[in-house]
Amino acid sequence: MYASFPNRQDLTIRDEIRLSAIARNLGNFVDLDDDDRISIKPILSNSQRVPSNQILFHERSCCDHIALIEEGLACRYKTLPDGRRQILGYLIPGDLCDISFLISGVTDYGVAVLGDSRISSTPIHQFAEILQSRPNVARGVSLAGLRDTVILREWLLNIGRRNALQRLCHFFCEVSLRMHAVGQSRADGSIDLPVNQGALADTVGLTQVHLNRTLQRLRGLNLIDFHGRRLQIVDFSQLAQLAQFDDYYLGLRTRR
Amino acid sequence: MYASFPNRQDLTIRDEIRLSAIARNLGNFVDLDDDDRISIKPILSNSQRVPSNQILFHERSCCDHIALIEEGLACRYKTLPDGRRQILGYLIPGDLCDISFLISGVTDYGVAVLGDSRISSTPIHQFAEILQSRPNVARGVSLAGLRDTVILREWLLNIGRRNALQRLCHFFCEVSLRMHAVGQSRADGSIDLPVNQGALADTVGLTQVHLNRTLQRLRGLNLIDFHGRRLQIVDFSQLAQLAQFDDYYLGLRTRR
DNA sequence: CGCTGTCTTGAGTCGGATCAAGATTAGTGG
DNA sequence: CCACTAATCTTGATCCGACTCAAGACAGCG
């Protein structure tokens, strides 16, 4: 699928899991051994394709499954009675949405699929069993869940205290690094970002029109290139500087 | 201390714990029995007074204790390199800050005390022991922690998608209900809110000047009365309607 | 009483919203 | 492959909410 990957056919199952997005994701937080990786196989085994724009679950719904994004993109969101929407975060390959179902079983937010995706769904009890038998995996999953909250806090700072240009830069920096960390960037460093400008506006708390103009400013500064649902960051360090972006909060192991 | 409370001297230890803010807080999520309540006594036993404006811990620090707000008020915050600050949430009596230390040990945010407070601090290992022996308490603590995140999401929606007046109304509704739920409201329904307008501005993502004017509009509408660090909500239902506030996300058991 | 923090007010500016229309692209069925 | 349709993107004009800067009023406190 991606240039740097060997052909899937040639891989053993163990290697396939090793290269899976979730193994890469958890690998950012803990060191998984082979047994750990084998243990998460059930989570990967019943995936299915989900078309763009489908709602995985609605705001204020109940959940007895834990979904994993294997390919594609999804987002958490909340809406106001008058229809205004705020996107609360993105779920990229390797992300679970949401382990808090293990505790609570209800959601305050909804999850929508953004591009055509492949998503697997695991019953809560089965998921819980894996966590119980593999403490290492459990710790990785906990830390991944914790990072979701850390990102949420950074977003609140972003939207509450940065201006339009900075917000957008910050978002692009973040999503780009996260995609890299789970092996979802292309050879040229670009990433697939199947979102329209309306969704981008709902991400950073702007209107669609103003987002469009901000995007053009960014393009004019020659910092990014965003066409055909693909994001290419031209100058990451300048982008990060403009946004006062610091990857500390992502807690990713640097492994370039 | 509050008019409706019996004199502390007359209480047995068991009753004292029952009336403690943390027991009331956890009681919003699970039903605690007497053994559960006795078990949390160690958490309450080494409290000390902390003066206003003191920093409990800084952004990006390490933590080996879990702090409990027994009286007073504190807030989580993050700052930008240029000094801009965003308050991420308030810690009111009965709140733990933050159980994620059980997993991670480092913070991305800081915590500052706002009014003179009484705060107790428990070593992580001791705290973990209690959770291990009392699953009911553990579940309550987990749900309380989960609600912190739910509130965070609501704040992102609030700051991202509501205007100045709505944001402020929403915040007042929320903090008022939360204080009620842990027995921290006065006989007349007012609550202590030891924050200045600068902090309020950092709460809802506005400047201090504009917050001042928004506050005046709210006073002009005769919906609130905020003087001398005390908040009196004059007409809750109108305030809630204006903010499109819905207490669903707080997950509090209604017990008026 | 004077200091310091906090609140309030005014004037001017600007960032971002709103409204409306047109251009471009993607998707669909024939 | 084209024609038609619906999304999406882009642009312009205008307006308003919120920010900035600056100064003054007020309150709490030693």
The Å distance, CA of A243 to C1' of D2, is: 46
d(CA B8, CA B5) in angstroms, rounded, equals: 8
Mean pLDDT of chain B: 93
Residue B45 pLDDT: 85
| Cβ pair B142:A85 closer than 8 A | no
Residue A2 pLDDT: 46
Residue A63 tokens, joined: 């959940």
pLDDT average, residue stretch A197-216:
98
Q: A61 pLDDT band (50/70/90 cuts)?
A: very high
DSSP A256: -
Residue B144 tokens, joined: 């309380």
Counting one residue from chain A and one from chain B, the pairs whose CB atoms sit within 8 A come to: 96
Question: Comparing C-alpha atoms, which of B80, B170, B154 is closest to residue A154?
Answer: B80
Geometric angle at alpha carbon A174, from A109 and B160, rounded to 5°: 45
Q: What is the pLDDT of residues B3-42, one digit of tens each?
A: 455 555 556 888 888 889 999 999 999 999 999 999 999 9
Q: Is A115 on the interface with B (CB under 8 A)?
A: no
Residue A19 pLDDT: 84
Helix or strand or coil: residue A16? helix
Residue B12 pLDDT: 82
d(CA B70, CA B2) in angstroms, rounded, equals: 15
Distance of CA A6 to the CA centre of its chain: 24
Residue B10 pLDDT: 58
Asked if pLDDT for residue A179 goes beyond 50, the answer is yes
Cα distances (angstroms) measured from residue B80 to each of A160, B84, B140: 11, 5, 34
Nearest to B244 among A80, A104, A109 (CB): A80
Q: What is the pLDDT of residues B36-62, one digit of tens each?
A: 999 999 999 889 999 999 999 999 999
Residue B161 Cβ under 7 A from any strand D atom: no
Residue B16 pLDDT: 84
Alpha-carbon gap: A253 to the closest alpha carbon of chain B (Å): 15
Q: What is the pLDDT of residues A29-59, one digit of tens each?
A: 999 999 999 999 999 988 999 999 999 999 9
Asked if pLDDT for residue A256 goes beyond 70, the answer is no
Cα distances (angstroms) measured from residue A149 to each of A153, A201, A250: 6, 21, 10
B126 phi, psi to nearest 5 deg: -65, -40
Residue B253 pLDDT: 65
Residue B147 pLDDT: 97
Select the residue from B84, B157, B210 to test the A interface by mutation, using most A Cβ atoms within 10 A.
Answer: B157
Mean pLDDT of chain A: 93
> B236-243 and B164-181 are packed helices; what angle lies between their axes, rounded to 10 degrees?
130
pLDDT average, residue stretch A197-213:
98
Cβ atoms B41, B71 nearer than 8 A: no
| Cβ pair B80:A162 closer than 8 A | yes
Question: What percent of chain A has pLDDT above 90?
Answer: 88
Q: B80 pLDDT band (50/70/90 cuts)?
A: very high
Alpha-carbon gap: B88 to the closest alpha carbon of chain A (Å): 7
Cβ atoms B236, B173 nearer than 8 A: yes
Alpha-carbon gap: A27 to the closest alpha carbon of chain B (Å): 16
| Cβ pair A157:B249 closer than 8 A | no
Q: Is A247 on the interface with B (CB under 8 A)?
A: no
d(CA A155, CA A175) in angstroms, rounded, equals: 12
Residue B214 Cβ under 7 A from any strand D atom: yes
Give, rounded to a whole angstrom, the gap between the first and last alpha carbons of chain A.
Answer: 20
